[in-house]
Amino acid sequence: MHPIAKLAKDTIESYIREGRVIEPEELTPEMMGRAGVFVSLHKFGELRGCIGTFEPARKTVAEEIISNAISSAIRDPRFPPVIPGELKDLEYSVDVLTMPEPIESKSELDPIRYGVIVESGGGKGLLLPDLEGVDTAEQQIDICRQKAWIDPDEPVKLYRFEVKRYK
């Protein structure tokens, strides 16, 4: 397991078992920078939690991982909080995002390479790249619209970003 994914795992296990927020012991170079980070949890191949930040909100990637790992385990509104008995069955994935860049049209998207952010008014939806069952830019945009409660015919601003995925 990559040290970045291990930090997410150690954070969640410590928090769920002891209610304690850990301090990272050793920061790898990737953990020292600043970036948006998403922490995804899967249980038996199914999504169990996913929370993240579009852009950096903390001083380091390590701090983003710790905060978002706890949130993905206990604050994802789609799921009940993780309980200690589930910890042995969880798989961890951490996506570190590049800064989103505005694009003019969906033709500049590639659902394998790029994640997408769709924005309209106060609504903003994000979808990570390279997700099973998401094969087209249209699907990415539709899912983002649904997440952000943006009507299908409402004009939107599009942004793309890349991720480095750690497992």
The pLDDT value given to residue 24: 84
Cβ count near 135 (within 10 Å): 11
Judge contact between 136 and 107, C-beta under 8 A: no
Judge contact between 31 and 3, C-beta under 8 A: yes
The pLDDT value given to residue 25: 79
The pLDDT value given to residue 26: 83
Q: Which CATH superfamily is 3-97 part of?
A: Hypothetical protein ph0010; domain 1 (3.30.700.20)
Any bridge partners for residue 161, and if so which?
115
The pLDDT value given to residue 84: 98
- Residue in 51, 69, 72, 62 with CA at minimum distance from that of residue 23: 62
Average confidence (pLDDT) per 10 residues, the chain, 167 residues: 96 97 89 96 96 94 97 97 98 96 96 97 93 95 96 95 96
Q: Which residue has the tokens 């301090």?
A: 23
Same fold: 3-97 with 101-162:
no
pTM for this predicted structure: 0.92
- CATH node for 101-162: 3.30.1490.150
82: tokens are 């993780």
How many whole angstroms separate alpha carbon 1 and alpha carbon 89?
Answer: 15
Provide the residue ranges of all domains of the chain, joining segments of one domain with +.
3-97, 101-162
The pLDDT value given to residue 11: 98
Torsion of CA 150, 151, 155, 156, to 10 degrees: 20
